[in-house]
Amino acid sequence: MSGIPTVVIAAPSSGSGKTTVTTGLIGALRSAGHRVAPFKVGPDYIDPGYHAVAAGRVGRNLDPNLVGEDLIRPLFAHGSTGADIAVVEGVMGLFDGRIVDADPAAGGPDADPIGLGSTAHVARLLGAPVVLVVDAAGHSQSIAALLHGFLSYESSVRIVGVILNRVGSPRHESVLRESCARVGLPVLGVLRRDPALTVPSRHLGLIPAAERSTDAIRAVDAMTATVGGVLDLDAIVAAARGRRHPDGPAWSAADAVGEPVETVGATAGSVQDGEPLVAVAGGAAFTFGYAEHVELLTAAGATVVGFDPLTDRLPPDTGAVVIGGGFPEEHAAELSANDRLRADISAHAMGGRPIYAECAGLLYLTRELDGHQMTGVLPLVGRFGSTLTLGYRDAVAVTGSVEFDVGTRATGHEFHRSTVEPAPSASGGPTNPAWAWRDNAGRSGTHGAVSEGVHASYLHLHPAAHPGAILRLVRRAREVARGRVAGRASEPPVPSVDSTRR
């Protein structure tokens, strides 16, 4: 038994068309009657949103950097439950991964040519075959040399076919096919140059599907029709059946958290007798999150309720709030206009009730973002800028919080163009840094803020790697529910800011 049939869609470099091909392939397989489990290599939150639209089920991430090698196959098995085929979209170029300091005892810098957390790394862990998407716009016969290099670079990665993207003319296609045949790689599909297949993007990549709603559905339908019409689906499915590793035990949120927080008289969507309620921000401004987060919260005994900070109030009797990543800078005016929710969040924090925030959530907790009034929970000011901060971070907790003890180590990911700094004439409760880490240049520093029950920083963590933090958050939410259960504030004053709204 080789496990669920699986194919990995990779490329020689970023920008080759992996997302378009993967999304179209997923949609085409679904249209053909398959139950498709979609995955994305790396920390990307956006591509899985398009995969989910195409597959009709949640898209998930596989990132050895964030969760470790040992969790990749269990998380894959969990995400594949009920499917008959899995499609994994790669990240960057096939072998591109995190560069770490070489261990001379392990054979020096050339001991493993596969980057940590790369597409090739995940394909090897899964034993899955790889199909390369090549942007053929600038290629002719030399594509054979490119493919020969990828085929011979690392024998543990099996490349079984190629999809040619942005092909110009029938003559161009003929030359490319002959060149692929020269190195023994079958062509599994040919896509012509088509601007209509381009997904709109902004400063951090593609615009999330959750923000585009009906436009995203139309884009996925177009990808499904166009890509599905040119791919050899039968050959791709046959290749996927050549996966070499059997499926092992699936990851379980219940097993990860152990015994859930005790609940009494719990019913779905309600709070009874101290049942902890955790409110998770969503909507267009907060689209970044991993599916395992809600699964772990639920397994830990919480009732999870989503809310949209653009339009909603904080749910009554909220014990804890989770605010993940997204694009608050694109929705700053609308977030500011919902002053009743801002007051709810402020009152929640002032009551000592926990808030866990990552990246966009950190910005929402500041006094202001680009001159727009935010919740004022933290005495900080957020600004959008032109410099991209990007990369994995090996962090250590430097202040104890609801979720983490001092000294806790975690690997996370930064991805933002904004900055935060102390607000002028800052007032309010004191804050301490959440994490310390070294940046890409090797400079050490402290980051984020911990204050009372608030833990906020730019660091994105994968919750499956930190189930204990989830359990601790739910326990604190239960303490709130069983102690002084506070509904949302009646109408507390809106937090003040230090500059006028633009």
Residue 114: which residues within 8 A CB-CB, separation 6 or more? 95, 97, 120, 121, 124, 154, 156, 157
Q: Are 392 and 413 in contact (CB under 8 A)?
A: yes
Is 359 part of the annotated catalytic residue set? yes
The C-alpha atoms of residue 123 and residue 118 are separated, in whole angstroms, by: 9
Q: Are 245 and 73 in contact (CB under 8 A)?
A: yes
Instruction: Tell me how far the alpha carbon of residue 389 is from its chain's centroid.
Output: 16
| Phi and psi at residue 380, to the nearest 5° | -130, 160
> Position 56: which residue type?
G
Beta bridge partners of 288: 325
Which candidate, 179, 178, 191, 183, places its Cα nearest to that of 143?
179
Q: Are 379 and 479 in contact (CB under 8 A)?
A: no
DSSP 388-410: EEEEEEEEEE-S--SS--TT-EE
Which candidate, 415, 328, 407, places its Cα nearest to that of 66?
415
Of the candidates 136, 162, 359, 469, the residue annotated as catalytic is 359
The C-alpha atoms of residue 262 and residue 275 are separated, in whole angstroms, by: 8
CB neighbours of residue 50 within 10 Å: 29
> Within 13 Å of residue 359, how many CA atoms lie on the same side as its CB?
24
Two structure tokens written together for 484: 């002084």
**Which residue numbers are catalytic?**
359
